[in-house]
Chains A and B, each alone.
Chain A
């Protein structure tokens, strides 16, 4: 029996929702298989990876904390990708947000909270935007591919951070560790659920997703971004400026990545160090696609990918598996998702042998 893919002729609404579900299922099966090959009982391993981390309140709050940057960056990237602008450098914009906001937090450590904290957040957003603006200008002025420039700028940002925290910004009382002084209370993101790590950023994330969803679906700007992504010529025909829309998409996604960065360093981390992100900016790309480039879908995708970080820790502690399983899980998930997405535009059809009409000749 042979099968082939046959074009549906239109997008299947069912499969654009079912495809991520199938992809998650395939990923769990594949991950279980890898656990089995590594000599661990697959069911227990999958249970440890995906369920154990959220069995208690501490686990749930850790999930919220990990999901916040993923969701905030994921919605920004969704908007960007909808506009056909391929910003791969959220990690770098996250880093610049942390540097810019962190710099303000260190410089004015003694300013009052109501003045300093908003200034820190705004500087974080501005830092992310500025970093994204480099990519935007290279794209719009010199037609440089944004995938390459935004990715390369990520490494520049990371080395810049390392230089700062090992050099000029290093805490003089820090025994030579590569880190800045702890931020003052005025520059610390408030915890909103006492005795957990759940901070203001966790609360902001779903509202940001909602806001971006409304922007995309209801506003003229959102329409323009979607139009330029679906059909650039039609957008030009409608009088929308592609250059302006590239700038808008880059600045919004860069600004949100910067916001995620400043929430992270003024919240859970509390200072600048060389390791401020376990690759959130790259994971956010998976989050955006798994969430169907839809801000509300991104919330769920962000929670799942956040779980993969916690699961990696749990698998390492309880089963002695390397923490690389997080990356493996994320990779298989993106791979399966892109594979399953073929079902949105194609259906699987069995090839039937040619029926020859008998006796019907002449």
Chain B
């Protein structure tokens, strides 16, 4: 520690600038990562964090600025060069072949054939040393998301990196898994591998990181020591506005018969590596917001499509909406009966990027908005419908003729939420309503959801963001492995119990069933 070269920062960025068409993604960004340091890069979606680390990892080149690696100026031309320097990166979205085994996946990423000899043994050695249990012979499609992340980490560690970049690593982990990951990261740091940790989760950064760089709209707004600030102060730096306490008044629960009943809904996923739904049962009251928590890939998309009618159930009585059996019906019949749906993926599922907002309004609004006549599109009414969404939800765009893909994520999401909300549905099913959405738009979306519930709409909110569920929902259940836990009141739920349920362990299920709510 006392040797003078240890004082040289491992990585120093000076004035890094990157311009994208219509957007200055990084504006003279400075960043210094010390030796043995766990350094947080903090910011909202769209603050420019990913762009910055892609330049460190050689995926993109900066337009201006310089990168110093152990005090020497370097030009990182590509990821192979970054790896030679000793930079490893674990991406948010894994690049693994589902049908191959762990060792095959790792072997595919190696540049040198000779490295494949004894690879399985080295994987076992590294994974035990750092507490990342992994079976080299397991097929990836049998593994949980947490285990898949371990593959990516082990893949990096095999190259003895000096700097490990982790992009939002805990977004796919249960609270318990995240805790184990932190132990691994601390161990790595003491052994000499610095970590650049990208996240917008404030508590975990305060617990884990010694230093933080906070970005907003492409610029660095602060360098600080996270533990010295409260989560709230960090959040305010990150989003610039003073946070209002966002407490929504509790809503009285109606005693009318349930709006929606799911009775042992069982669905086969239409994706080879998807999750089948097994025996999902649920009663949803009028005006209730019901949260469905869980780690990505545990059947959320399938549940969304089962409820929207994209994957109809063989049994009509599996889904009963306002007393009518609709399990076998397609999306339009369900819309006719008052259903509204908004899937997680905006581009290509909830909306069509290459079509205008007017046409995207028509996409799901044509049934109840009577936007067509005699087989022809009523262009005026479609235009007016889009116009009213834009107006009511403050969508920043040039107008209904704008293509959906020209809108930012937050604006498009506001438009889509508006499209469903303005149809005054009896039932709204919404998956990841604020994924990749800026704080302002998220607040507007929350407001719309709560107002809708106050007006009597029953809402199913599927989300990986527990804060969101705790903020908005009356009751929640956890989906794991395509099964839904027993519902619990949000007021009675604890993070620990939800975490266990998210992991889908048998004990957790027993616990859940032993405590009826």
A contacts, CB < 8 Å to B: 6-11, 218-221, 223, 226-227, 230-231, 233-234, 236-239, 241, 354-357, 360-362
Contact = CB atoms under 8 A, between A and B. Distances in A.
Contacts of B376: 218-220
B6 to A, nearest CB: 19
B342 to A, nearest CB: 9
Nearest to A352: B63
B65 A234 contact: no
Given A223-B359, A227-B363, A10 B406 contact: yes
Chain B binding surface SS class = mixed
Contact of B362 (A10, A223, A236, A239): A223
Given A219-B376, A361-B14, A239 B309 contact: yes
B355 A220 contact: no
A239 B15 contact: no
Given A218-B377, A360-B14, A237 B349 contact: yes
A234 B352 contact: yes
B360 to A, nearest CB: 9
* A221, A239, A354 — most chain B CB neighbours (10 Å): A239
A239 B330 contact: yes
Contacts of A234: 348-352, 363
Contacts of B367: 239
Nearest to A233: B349
B197 interface: no
B375 A357 contact: no
Interface residues of B, number: 46
B116 interface: no
Contact of A354 (B75, B309, B332, B362): B75
Given A219-B376, A230-B352, A230-B353, 16 more contacts: A6-B21, A9-B22, A10-B403, A10-B405, A218-B376, A226-B355, A227-B352, A234-B363, A237-B331, A237-B350, A239-B309, A239-B333, A239-B367, A354-B63, A357-B66, A362-B14
Given A223-B362, A234-B350, A239-B332, A8 B21 contact: yes
B298 interface: no
Given A356-B66, A360-B14, A230 B375 contact: no
Contacts of A8: 21
B136 interface: no
Interface in B297-353: 308-310, 330-333, 335, 341, 343, 345, 347-353
B310 A236 contact: yes
Contacts of A10: 403, 405-406
Contacts of A7: 21
A231 B348 contact: yes
Nearest to A222: B377
Contacts of A227: 352, 355, 363
A224 B61 CA distance: 41
Contact of B372 (A9, A220, A356): A220
Contact of B354 (A11, A218, A223, A355): A11
B443 to A, nearest CB: 26
A226 B376 CA distance: 14
A218 B350 CA distance: 22
B310 A237 contact: yes
A237 B22 CA distance: 31
Contact of A219 (B348, B364, B366, B377): B377
Given A219-B376, A239-B330, A239-B331, A230 B15 contact: no
28 contacts: A9-B20, A9-B22, A10-B405, A11-B354, A218-B379, A220-B376, A223-B359, A223-B362, A227-B355, A230-B352, A230-B355, A231-B353, A233-B349, A234-B349, A234-B351, A237-B308, A237-B310, A237-B331, A237-B350, A237-B363, A237-B364, A238-B332, A239-B330, A239-B332, A354-B61, A354-B62, A354-B63, A357-B14
Contact of B348 (A226, A233, A239): A233
Interface of B: 14-15, 20-22, 61-66, 75, 308-310, 330-333, 335, 341, 343, 345, 347-355, 359, 362-364, 366-367, 372, 375-377, 379, 403, 405-406
Contacts of A6: 21
B64 A355 contact: yes
Contacts of B354: 11, 230
Contacts of B348: 231, 233-234
B343 A357 contact: no
* B63, B350, B352, B364 — most chain A CB neighbours (10 Å): B352
Contacts of A223: 359, 362, 377
Contacts of A226: 355
A221 B363 contact: no
B272 to A, nearest CB: 13
Contacts of B347: 231
B378 to A, nearest CB: 10
A6 B377 CA distance: 37
A271 to B, nearest CB: 40
A354 B310 CA distance: 50
B15 A238 contact: no
A237 B343 contact: yes
Contacts of B335: 239
A9 B22 CA distance: 9
A227 B354 CA distance: 9
A313 B376 CA distance: 45
B220 to A, nearest CB: 14
A231 B347 CA distance: 8
A233 B345 contact: yes
A226 B352 CA distance: 10
A221 B377 CA distance: 9
* A9, A221, A234, A362 — most chain B CB neighbours (10 Å): A234
B321 to A, nearest CB: 15
A6 B61 CA distance: 13
A231 B372 contact: no
Given A10-B405, A227-B352, A239-B335, A355 B377 contact: no
A231 B66 contact: no
B15 A360 contact: yes
Contacts of B64: 354-357
Q: Which 7 A-B residue pairings sit nearest by Cβ, starting from the closest? A: A239-B332, A239-B331, A231-B348, A233-B349, A231-B352, A238-B363, A355-B64
Contacts of A236: 310, 331
Nearest to A347: B21
A325 B375 CA distance: 46
B403 A357 contact: no
A237 B363 CA distance: 8
A238 B66 contact: no
